[in-house]
């Protein structure tokens, strides 16, 4: 079972996502293209390619194909009927489907590039945090210093331990996080 808060964290942890409303629903868009929303009755609506819709329908019996004017555009499922890991994967797939191809490719590349050391980012922050930073276009401590702790914590995969380690590494170099 998941909540709007978890969907929000997953969506806003992706590059260039903005939260707004669409027909009274909480909605998320990448560069102006909507990719996810939540209805007032708690159903997540995700714009997905047809093959991803097929997989989602097979994996989540309470979910259904989402159609607009008879045309299939995605998948919708009650938030209470989906676990967090599956929701995160669907939000990412929806974002990747609607994001500009170059932006989606950059994030996909960043996620696989985090296998070894990346720039001067400390290895102690962990792979999820490294992938999250790379996905947000942050590949060096100098770029980390341009963000506040709250901004970093908002990235899906960056937790308090990673922020503490980054802060310590910045301090050792005479830098600090943005207030």
Give the residues of the chain that fall short of pLDDT 70: 110-118
Residue 75 has a pLDDT of: 97
**From CA 36, how far away is CA 19, in angstroms rounded?**
10
**From CA 4, how far away is CA 28, in angstroms rounded?**
12
CA separation, residue 68 to residues 19, 47, 95 (Å): 21, 11, 18
**From CA 23, how far away is CA 132, in angstroms rounded?**
31
Residue 116 has a pLDDT of: 55
Per-residue pLDDT reduced to its tens digit, 110-161: 666 555 566 788 988 988 888 888 878 788 899 999 999 999 999 888 999 9
For the whole model, what pTM was predicted?
0.68
* 3-state SS class at 49: coil
Residue 43 has a pLDDT of: 96
113-151 burial string, b = 16+ CB within 10 Å, else e? ebeeebeebbeebbebbbbbbbbbebbebeebbebebeb
Backbone angles phi, psi at 90, to 5 degrees: -70, -40
* 3-state SS class at 65: strand
Residue 106 has a pLDDT of: 76
Residue 178 has a pLDDT of: 93
Q: End-to-end distance of the chain based on CA atoms, in angstroms? A: 35
* 3-state SS class at 174: coil
Q: Does the CA dihedral 121-123-129-134 come out positive or negative? A: positive
């Amino acid at each position: 079972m998941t909540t709007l808060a978890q969907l929000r964290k997953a969506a806003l942890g992706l590059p260039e996502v903005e939260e707004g409303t669409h027909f009274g629903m909480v909605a998320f868009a990448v560069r102006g293209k909507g990719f996810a929303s939540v209805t007032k009755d708690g159903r997540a609506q995700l714009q997905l390619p047809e093959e991803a819709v097929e997989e989602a329908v097979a994996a989540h019996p309470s979910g259904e194909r989402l159609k607009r004017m008879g045309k299939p555009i995605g998948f919708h499922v009650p938030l209470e009927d989906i676990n967090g890991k599956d929701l995160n994967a669907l939000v990412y797939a929806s974002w990747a489907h609607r994001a500009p191809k170059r932006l989606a490719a950059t994030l996909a590349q960043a996620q696989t590039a985090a296998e070894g050391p990346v720039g001067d980012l400390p290895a102690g922050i962990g792979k999820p945090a490294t992938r999250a930073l790379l996905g947000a276009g942050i590949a060096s401590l100098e770029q980390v210093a341009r963000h506040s702790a709250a901004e970093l914590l908002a990235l899906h995969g960056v937790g308090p331990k990673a922020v503490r380690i980054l802060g310590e590494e910045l301090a050792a170099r005479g830098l600090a996080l943005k207030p």
